Amino acid sequence: MSAFLRLKRKEMEDGEPNLVPIMNMFLVIIPFLLMSASFYHIKAVNTSIPVLSSGDAGKAGEEDSISLTVVAEFKKESIRLSVMSDRLTDQELQHFKAEYPTVGDSGFPIDKYSSHLKDIKAKYPKSETLILIPDNSTDYETIIRAMDMARKAGDVTLFPNVVLSGSAG
């Protein structure tokens, strides 16, 4: 029996793990991970989310203190603009509703969209939020262009808080 124990002890002392297969695996995996990581680029779109705030206790009669929230819906066939406010009646809000149909292959009438936003900002300068609701068929470039035009027109800041939203329903 002692011969069996000597033989077993000798096997335990001489046995080393074979690390070559593990090293080969890492030799293949690491370059593969580095290659796949270089093709994955993340782009960020500067947007903001609506902030819950307490209402202004100022005078309700002054147009300069009224703040509107503009809603721009980019549908396949048109751009639909509307406004929301707690301090204006529905009849007053109807004056700012507009719908601009798409123009053939040239796409959305961004110039009319921009001029309508300028008119709203001129009448209510405290307005700072625009909610952009693109349709699934709206391409990425149109969404980014609409966001940029809503933020600034030339040197004039229009709606610095652009919120990108999905359509409900």
What's the CA gap between 40 and 34, in Å, rounded? Answer: 10
What's the CA gap between 162 and 154, in Å, rounded? Answer: 17
Q: Which amino acid is at 127?
A: S
Whether the pLDDT of residue 125 is over 60: the answer is yes
**Each residue's pLDDT tens digit, 4-36:** 666 666 666 666 788 899 999 989 998 888 877
Predicted local distance difference test score (pLDDT) of residue 20: 92
Predicted local distance difference test score (pLDDT) of residue 59: 45
For the chain, residues classed under CATH 3.30.420.40 are: 63-164
The answer to whether 114 and 153 are in contact (CB under 8 A) is yes
**Each residue's pLDDT tens digit, 87-110:** 888 888 888 898 888 877 667 788
Sign of CA dihedral 106, 102, 49, 92: positive
Mean pLDDT over 111-118 rounds to 86
Cα-Cα end-to-end distance for the chain: 82
What CATH number matches the domain at 63-164, 3.40.50.800, 3.30.420.40, 3.40.50.10070, 3.90.180.10?
3.30.420.40
What does DSSP say about strands 161-164 and 129-134: parallel, antiparallel, or unpaired?
parallel
Cut 0.75: pTM above it: no
